[in-house]
Chains A and B, each alone.
Chain A
Amino acid sequence: MAELATVCPFCGCGCGLYLHVIDDVVVGVSPSRAHPISQGRLCVKGWHAHEMVDNPQRLTHPLVRRGDELVEASWEEAVEVAANGLRKVADSAGAQAIGVLGSARCTNEANYVLVRFARGTLGTPSIDCSQRIHSVPEVALNAGNSRPGLDTGQIADLDESDLILLVGSDPTEEHPAVAARVYRARQRGARVISVSTRTHPLAALADVHLPVRPGGELKLLGSILHVLLVEQGMAGDADVSGLPELRASVADLPPEETQAATSVPAEAVREAALLYASSKRATVVYSTGLALSLHASAAAQSLENLAALGASGAGPKATVLGLLSRNNLQGCRDMGVAPDLLPGYTALGDDAAVEKLERAWRCELNRETGLASWQMMGKARAMYIMGDDITRTMPGAGVAREALASLDFLVVQDIFMSPAAAMADVVLPAAAFAEQDGTWTNLERRVQRIHRAVSPPGEAREDWRIVAGVSGAMGKPISYEDAQQIFEEIKDLLPVYAGVFYPPLAVNGGIRWPTAQPRDAGGAPAAREKIGVAAPPEDALKESAAGAETSDEYPLLMAADPTLRPWDGEVTVCHTLTAAGEFTVMDQDYPDGMLCLNPEDAKRFEVRGGRPARVVSATGEGQMQVRVTDEVPRGIALVPYNQAARSGPMEVSSQPVSGRPVLAPTPISVGPVQ
């Protein structure tokens, strides 16, 4: 038995783990104690990571569609069919009619090659990653170079903090490695403030918990800033640009004023703000609970404001950690899997930089802004999907399925027969994380090495080779020796990865960008010059919490909770034994959605735990199974975001600025099924 060090393939934390290999089969997993993130721990997903590798349901051969059936084909044939199909759509509808989806599950190298394939070979600007919809706002993803004057956070900051502010984040479900640090920080006396609708375990243990009404997040953060800036007159030594505007924007937001919109008692808000102000070193953590709210960007900016104030000497020194949900969501964006960027955050209008890429890639690139994943739905005529879970991530019942069904041509490259793959014209079997070399970049921008521990099943191949193969069949060969050669090119071409070398396995915990030195003791990248804050747009504050008023007819406010069962339906998690058991249970007990209600509401509306309930909103109705729990405040009904996104009576709305689709809190009535 050999232990091979690699990185956990699930959330954005990037824990180090060992795969146990016997006779080219992965038979188990162990945590790494020496690894700076895992420190000897793994969550339930990590402990079962091996099960998705040697799994009888893996795709093993290329498949091509013959009528209603997908039948086995040789690589040559499948690649030819894929190339011809894409070419045909490009010829008839134009290259921009092809949508390409990269993956936060795949390596940097694969995503980089995919961008080259999309913008160069196909000539379409429409490349994106739908998993991005579930991620924190872009402001955080570009963190390394967009937050002047601030340290950029890393998970280890939690160890040094005497205050942890969790906003819209349940790390026990979403980011266990972060939760582990919070628990340990608590044990050594750090204080915890939680802001979230649901009283998750860390909220229940928090010193102050603010159970905010869905939609009230921005106003609540405004009130916290009001207490700090107006009531406490908090001010630092350094010059802070935008401070007067920020102070003015929160002048009218004393906690008493926002109480109705946030459902949080004024004294609790004040207690939280004062506790925050009295600390010395704070880490502010947020994730999907905030990211999938309507005014996510403005709310995230409010948290950045706290950090900026701290940097100026007002309040605790603080870092902001925006937690990403997928193992390589950060890297996926770093590589330019986005309709409005090129690799390395190269702007589309930066001619010199684009030409540099064109020279390296020996092709012309499409320099337009393409369609985002949600815009591709119904607009693209063909799609090439590499390891993206679009049927799960796209909000709105059946939106993705209908869009995929209406395509003229669909190629899916994945490790399992995902719902999208089942609809494809060509299915290309890919190697799993334990079967290919490359790098992933975690939520702290830690570039870590994964490596081939076993052979892929059947004829499955590394992701980048598959994409390169299709490109070759379209007359534009992409040739690299191996993943390392791709990485060397990334490092040479992309300023943000400059100085990051292809980490050999011995570099435990990888290398954080931007840096010129290998990361040793977790040193943060150099701080930048000017400190600034930004006031939230006026209309965002005004709109916040509006439109979600309950009434006698619809007395409950239903919200989709992205921190609740965030892994439900995820294609890789579905195939790990223990997690699969959990998800099967979820399917069996809550097939139409898990409607979480406070015990008093359940009694009031005469519904029982484990039984179906009728859910009616102004725009629709449906049936869901009830779970009674005092994690949910009175007057609120929470449903896991993934379930609500696939079905149910919630409406899809879109975030200002990013335009990302989100589910808006909806007033409903609930009653027993007759």
Chain B
Amino acid sequence: MTARMLPKNRIEEFVGRLLEQAEVVAPRRVEVGDVFYGAVASAEEVAWDYGHAVEPLKRFLLPQRETMLRYSTGDKVRVEAELDEQERVFLGIRCCDVTGIGVLDAMFGGDTPDPYYMSRRERSTVIALTCLQAPDETCFCVCCDAGPFLAKGYDQQWTSLPEGMLVEVGSERGEALVRSNDDLFDEASVDQVAARYRLAREAEQTFGDFKSYIAGAMSKLSMNEVDPKVWEQAALRCMECGGCTYLCPTCSCFTVTDRMEDSSGVRERHWDACLYSCYAREASGHNPRPEREDRLRARFFHKISYQWAQRNGRQACVGCGRCVVGCMAWAHMPAITEGIRRGVMT
């Protein structure tokens, strides 16, 4: 591991330099006390001691609503695409959310890259901030290989030590950032590196009872061995709000609509949720998943089946716990995996 130290009194300077080159998106407290990732104007705005952000970073890579094309109708149609080319540094991001980006990369990259996503992604630098203790009682990243410290998936990973940030470099991009600000970074000492591993072990012990039995559920889901009763029972515990998908760092379903403004049209995409009853409904009226249990089954198969884990490089749950907070009823990831394991929903 190449590790450096960014001493406390130089963090402000470093963030200042980042701000000269890019939009810096970091955790910050908004109006009534909630924490959101958002653009900051100075290091002072960053809520270094935050627990959990209400939402993952997804909105900055895949907005809830975005313009894909603009076109003019009339005699001759003209179509133009709009790409977001803003350079961004994502600073102080929780490990689960950083891992989530990896899943999105698999979905939107591949042999047919999505230019809207990739345009943002290729211009972004990800600086993770490790969790020295479970940020929230609903966190279960420890069950998902997605925190509280990461081994990969970041450009830089910061760990807060009393004297400053221990900076691990995980990519060429992360290394370049160190190199171009060489005057701010010190070499990390052996003790400092040792502290990081001790803190990681200690942090893991602080996670609560909220466990998600993903491995067991994955095997049953992948082999199509889940008792159908579980889905029927889950259907009574889901209100189809879509919150679990919207808050999920890895859920990326979208729908596309056209809207007209006078003689010019805009093609937009919007977040969509596979739990909505009209999600798979065809124009003819045929709905391959007419019942809520069908949709729940499809959703969890996509999230944590072995088949999809293979396609995406990992299962699509990172244990951020946001579906637990955001579920209107009781059909979030830990509730469902527990139900699958026991063959009955509580």
Contact = CB atoms under 8 A, between A and B. Distances in A.
A and B touch in the complex (CB under 8 A): yes
Interface of A: 1-5, 16, 18, 20, 27-35, 39-44, 46-47, 50-51, 56, 172, 176-177, 179-180, 183-184, 186-187, 201, 204-205, 505-506, 508, 577-578, 581-582, 584-585, 588-589
A30 B242 contact: no
B34 A179 contact: no
Contacts of B270: 51, 577
Contacts of A32: 32, 34, 54
A35 to B, nearest CB: 7
Interface string B64-81: 111000000000000000
A485 to B, nearest CB: 23
Contacts of A47: 241-243, 246
B330 to A, nearest CB: 5
B236 A41 contact: no
Contacts of A183: 237, 328-330
A41 B55 contact: no
B328 A179 contact: yes
A201 B237 contact: yes
A-B interface, 4 closest residue pairs, ranked by CB to CB distance from nearest:
A28-B64, A508-B32, A581-B278, A40-B325
B241 A28 contact: no
B82 to A, nearest CB: 13
Contacts, number: 132
Given A43-B239, A56-B260, A585-B278, A187 B346 contact: yes
Nearest to A22: B63
Interface in B263-278: 270, 272-273, 276-278
A18 B35 CA distance: 12
A32 B281 CA distance: 31
A34 B241 contact: no
Contacts of A176: 239, 241, 328
A302 B239 CA distance: 30
A40 B35 CA distance: 11
Contacts of A5: 30-32
A176 B235 CA distance: 15
A217 to B, nearest CB: 23
B31 A179 contact: no
A578 B36 CA distance: 25
B266 to A, nearest CB: 9
Contacts of A33: 34, 54, 325
Interface string B316-346: 0000000001111110000000000000001
Contacts of B36: 3, 18, 30
Contacts of A508: 32-33
A396 to B, nearest CB: 30
User: Interface SS of chain B: helix, strand, loop or mixed?
Assistant: loop
B259 interface: yes
Contact of B39 (A1, A28, A34, A42): A1
Contacts of B120: none
Contact of A28 (B63, B261, B277, B325): B63
Interface of B: 30-34, 36, 38-39, 54-55, 59, 63-66, 235-237, 239-243, 246, 255, 257, 259-261, 270, 272-273, 276-278, 281, 285, 325-330, 346
Which of the listed residues B33, B65, B281 has the most CB atoms from chain A within 10 Å of its own CB? B65
B31 A172 contact: no
A34 B32 contact: yes
B65 A31 contact: no
A187 B241 CA distance: 19
A4 B31 contact: yes
22 contacts: A1-B39, A3-B36, A20-B59, A27-B66, A32-B34, A39-B325, A40-B54, A41-B327, A42-B241, A42-B326, A180-B329, A183-B330, A201-B235, A204-B236, A205-B236, A505-B32, A506-B31, A577-B270, A578-B273, A581-B276, A582-B277, A588-B285
Nearest to B138: A40
A179 B239 contact: yes
Contacts of B38: 1-3
Contact of A41 (B235, B281, B326): B326
Contacts of B31: 3-5, 505-506
A43 B32 contact: no
B51 to A, nearest CB: 10
Contacts of B236: 201, 204-205
Nearest to A5: B31
A505 B31 CA distance: 7
Which of the listed residues A33, A184, A578, A588 has the most CB atoms from chain B within 10 Å of its own CB? A33
B241 A3 contact: no
A582 B276 contact: yes
Given A1-B38, A1-B59, A176-B239, 11 more contacts: A27-B65, A27-B66, A31-B54, A40-B54, A40-B325, A43-B243, A56-B260, A179-B329, A183-B329, A581-B276, A582-B276
Contacts of A2: 38
B261 A56 contact: yes
